[in-house]
Amino acid sequence: MSYELPKLPYAYDALEPHMSKETLQYHHDKHHRAYVDKFNKLVQGTKFEASPLGYVVKHADKGPLLNNAAQALNHAFFWHSLGPDRGGEPDGPLMDAIKKANGSFADFKKDFSEKAAGLFGSGWVWLVKNPDGGLDILQTANGDTPFSGESRPLICCDVWEHAYYIDYRNDRAKYVEAFWKLADWEFAQDNFTAGADEEQRSTTHPMQRKGQHPHHPPSPR
């Protein structure tokens, strides 16, 4: 059974003017697809052949299979971290937790933005919920992912150059400014408040959660 590239949860031009149709066509149809295709090729004949991506990411040894599984999962999560007519600020328990961890939403944004702009090379920046309920901003290099660990990702920003070069050339900081206009805080809030029974599901099937938005289609797997 092969893992199918999940469709974008919105139209290719839905994130304009902050993220162009051309960027989404390349980023989703070329880059994301390449990780999925490579994963499907590498997983054949291994003990992970029938496993969900989340399981592979937690249990595979370091190497190309893990890298491609993680990148397939990271991108699936990233598309849901964005949305048209999003941005703004979270509210409710997530906002309370952000204020507790960072002092204010403005301070959180500043810290996240600096970590995104300052990450050396390729990688990702994540807001995660730790097992003790506290929040952290994590940087992961290349294909590394918090889905391999114990913390639960709430929202993420892809800072690989392929995410922004078409729209912003080498100006990653400008791309991060655009990210704030697209960040889907409802998605992050859902992840933050997901119950313990859903935690396992969100690890193995990050797009199959209860209470998901209408524009969050279930994973094909």
Under the binding rule (CB under 5 A), the answer on residue 158 touching Fe ion is yes
Neighbour-count burial for 63-89, b at 16+ CB within 10 Å, e otherwise: eebbbbbbbbbbbbbbbbbbbbebbee
| Cβ closest to Fe ion, residue 71 vs residue 113 | 71
Q: Is 175 in the site for Fe ion (CB under 5 A)?
A: no
- Closer by beta carbon to Fe ion, 97 or else 119: 119
CB of 32 to Fe ion, least distance (A): 7
Q: Which residues pair with 140 in a beta bridge?
A: 124
Q: Least distance to Fe ion from the beta carbon of 78, Å?
A: 7
Query: Cα separation of 147 and 128, whole Å?
Result: 10
Count CA atoms within 13 Å of residue 65 on its CB side.
22
160 binds Fe ion (CB under 5 A): yes
Q: Choose the binding region for Fe ion from 9-17, 49-57, 115-123, 155-163 (rule: CB under 5 A).
A: 155-163
Residues 6+ away with beta carbon under 8 Å from 156: 74, 77, 78, 81, 124, 125, 126, 127
Q: How far is the CB of 200 from Fe ion (least distance, A)?
A: 26
Residue 147, interface with Fe ion (CB under 5 A)?
Answer: no
Residue whose C-beta lies closest to Fe ion: 158
